[in-house]
Structures are given as structure tokens and as C-alpha cells.
């Protein structure tokens, strides 16, 4: 049976607003992020949701809780859905990253230096978590709230022939739809849907 996953990036945080690298730092939603989560939950209210999963970091759990509440569900937090570890980069701004690390683009793409998680390991970790969730809920519609870098890596692992569609920034509370069939694998349906954000500005937009 085909399972539908709503893959959602968490709402905005102060670090998003200040263009700082969060990684594994446990930063909560800011006021704008809470409003984004509320609008997202209202948008999701009329859509089928059978289960809700999230990274166990606050910004993901808080976003997921808004959706879970309108569907009478509870959030299942998973450590395996956490953001990429950015090692010694965590907490610095993107401007500081560019100034202090001349090789940052290569390391961002591949990982393996400065404590940054390897991209291939990140892709595999996230794709395996998504498949575990999908196989646990055959035929269901499941919300999975995660993080921008880790979601992009996971999509690179599962999209295969559709990789050309992934040149899109995953914005705060953007919704990406995928399906999983145990015999036919993954299909990317829609990427970074943001209809619900008409009324609010985001640092990512």
C-alpha cells in the first residue's frame, strides 16, 4: 500500500532570522515561527493526517505539535530526524562562515571537516528514517517535521530521476509531499508548498 508523507521544515527561529547556523543547537520557534506553525496547522486541518513525527529538537516538535493538536494526535519525536551536525560552525552567522572558512562550500557539500556530518551519511540517515516511518504506516498520511539541510539531503537520496526538481530552497514550514510504495519506492509529488504563508513574512522568503 502507498504511504503519503508530508515532509515539513520547522517554523522560523531567531537563528533563522539572524542567519546563524543552528545544526543540533536546540533553538525554539520565535513569534513569527509560532504564527507560521499556526497557519500551517490551519491549512493542514482539512487534509488527512494519521500520524505526526518530528525531530526531537524544539523547533521541530513545536511546529509538529501545532498540526497534531488540530487532528487530535500526539507527536512522535525521533532523534534520527535531527538536523545535520555542523560541528564548530554551529552558532556562527553565514557571514562569519564565509570569512573564517575559505573552504566552507566544499565542506558544506561533503562534510567530514570541522565536525560537520558527512553528506552521504546524512542522506542515508534521513532516508532510512523516512522509510521506517512509511513502512510503519502502510496506506496512511503521515506528517514528518524536520530541518532544511537534513530534509534536502534525504530528498537527494530518494528522488533519483527527479533530482532536477530539488533546486529549490526549503522554506520555514514549507510542505514537500512524497509517496512511498514498498514495491515501487519513492515518488516526489510536490516540493516546498507555502500556500499557508500568504499572511506572514519569513526570514527565508
What is the enclosing helix (H) or strand (E) of 181? strand 175-181
Out of 62, 83, 117, 131, pick the active-site residue.
Answer: 83
Asked if 203 and 148 touch (Cβ cutoff 8 Å), the reply is no
Is 143 annotated as belonging to a binding site? no
Is 192 annotated as belonging to a binding site? no
Is 14 annotated as belonging to a binding site? yes
Is 160 catalytic? The answer is: no
β-pairing verdict for 141-146 and 3-9: parallel
Is 82 annotated as belonging to a binding site? no
Tell me the C-alpha distance between 175 and 161, whole Å: 20
Tell me the C-alpha distance between 53 and 79, whole Å: 11
Is 83 catalytic? The answer is: yes
Is 168 annotated as belonging to a binding site? no
- Candidates 48, 69, 56; CA nearest to 6 is 48
Is 16 annotated as belonging to a binding site? yes
Is 12 annotated as belonging to a binding site? yes
Question: Residue 179 has which C-alpha cell?
Answer: 509517496
Provide the H-helix boundaries in 71-180. Answer: 94-100, 104-110, 119-136, 148-159
Out of 10, 147, 152, 196, pick the active-site residue.
Answer: 10
Is 190 annotated as belonging to a binding site? no
Which 8-state DSSP code applies to residue 36?
A: H
Is 59 annotated as belonging to a binding site? yes
Residue ranges for the binding site? 9-16, 59
Catalytic annotation, residues:
10, 83
Residues contributing to the annotated binding site for substrate: 9-16, 59
Amino acid at each position: 500500500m502507498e504511504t503519503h508523507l508530508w515532509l515539513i521544515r520547522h517554523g522560523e527561529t531567531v537563528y533563522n532570522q539572524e542567519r546563524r547556523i543552528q545544526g543540533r543547537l536546540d533553538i525554539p520557534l520565535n513569534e513569527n515561527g509560532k504564527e507560521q506553525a499556526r497557519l500551517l496547522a490551519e491549512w493542514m486541518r482539512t487534509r488527512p493526517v494519521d500520524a505526526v513525527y518530528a525531530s526531537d529538537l524544539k523547533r521541530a516538535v513545536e511546529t509538529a505539535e501545532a498540526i497534531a493538536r488540530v487532528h487530535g494526535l500526539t507527536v512522535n519525536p525521533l532523534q534520527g530526524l535531527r538536523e545535520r551536525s555542523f560541528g564548530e560552525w554551529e552558532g556562527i552567522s553565514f557571514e562569519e562562515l564565509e570569512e573564517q572558512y575559505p573552504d566552507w562550500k566544499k565542506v558544506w557539500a561533503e562534510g567530514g571537516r570541522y565536525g560537520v556530518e558527512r553528506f552521504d551519511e546524512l542522506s542515508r540517515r534521513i532516508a532510512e528514517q523516512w522509510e521506517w516511518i512509511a513502512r510503519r504506516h502502510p496506506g496512511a498520511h503521515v506528517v514528518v517535521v524536520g530541518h532544511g539541510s537534513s530534509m534536502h539531503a534525504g530528498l537527494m537520496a530518494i528522488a533519483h530521476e527527479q533530482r532536477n526538481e530539488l533546486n529549490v530552497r526549503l522554506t520555514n514550514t514549507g510542505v514537500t509531499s512524497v509517496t512511498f510504495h514498498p514495491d515501487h519506492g519513492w515518488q516526489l509529488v510536490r516540493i516546498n508548498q507555502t500556500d499557508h504563508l500568504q499572511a506572514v513574512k519569513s526570514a527565508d522568503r
